[in-house]
Structure 1
Amino acid sequence: MPFTDVISNLSEEIILTGRKGKNRGKGLGQFYTPQSISDVLTKLALPDDSEIKSWNSKKVVGDICCGAGTLILSFLTNVNRVDSEKLKFVELVLNDIDELACKSTVLQILASLLVFDLKLNGMQMFKADAIKEYFKNGTLYFGIRSFESLDNLEADELAYELLLREITSEGSTKPVMS
């Protein structure tokens, strides 16, 4: 099923058991939202089926502390269930302070889009402290404006094009995935 969260439990386990290197022992108080809670919140707080069916323009949806993306994945699952064509109106603006969470969210969303041949209007992932740094220069972690351009790429070209890069405040880029 598209947009199924497969990484939250693994990510939370890694975080709770400690990290290696310079981040060891520097907890961020991260506890990811369980899937069942995400599903309930989606039903309570987000558009109902009839509203989704009526969409004919861009809808910007955000989560400023997205973790591994459980809440946004639940939302996307619901839109896909109602009408997968309505996903093309959805633009995501996501953020998390943790690099592993950013990678997890982007990976899960892109995997579903590619495997199930679905499209979003766009997606931006920021790596920032949501209180102090949100939208500051140098916090854009990943961004894609249109998924239409992905249609014609071969797999090896796609892997190159989707290489995640961190944009520094000096305007240069450096790879963040190894």
Structure 2
Amino acid sequence: MPPQPHSKAPATPPGAATPDARRLTEAVTRLRRALRASIRTDYPWETLPMAQVELLQVLGEHSPARIGDLAARQRLAASTVSGLIGQMITAGLVTREVDPADRRASVVGLTDAGRDQLTAWTLAHERRLETALSSLDATDRTALAAALPALFRLAEHLDDTGA
């Protein structure tokens, strides 16, 4: 007969996530995965990698921008962002120009095609989410609407702390 342990291991190790943090992590992960998969299934014309879409989104809010600033906002290496931007320039989605504030540096901005691509991507996601939301009952839709301000505050906190 094997020896019996003297005590049970704790259900949640010290420093581990709380059940709410764990469930929110799971929900966000599942939502991102489902949206990524559905955009490719429901809108097969969409071929941009998520990293490029996310850069388009940042440039949609902060354009023109330096590569280093984009890298900091996305928490990516500048070399990674530079490579993505190179691909996006080739695709005609962004331009790279001399920074008027510092002629030694360059800035990246959206082209009309990049802005159109971002708009189409955003509208496709909004339609997909609207369809999914309409399948929920009124109680769930109300709960989600009520949670949005807190989710935005949570995102701002995470941005501010770099967490």
Query: For the superposition of Structure 1 and Structure 2, which TM-score range results when normalised by the shorter chain?
Result: under 0.3
| Structure with the larger strand share | 1
Query: What TM-score results when the alignment is normalised by the length of structure 2?
Result: 0.24
Query: What TM-score results when the alignment is normalised by the length of structure 1?
Result: 0.23
| Structure with the larger helix share | 2
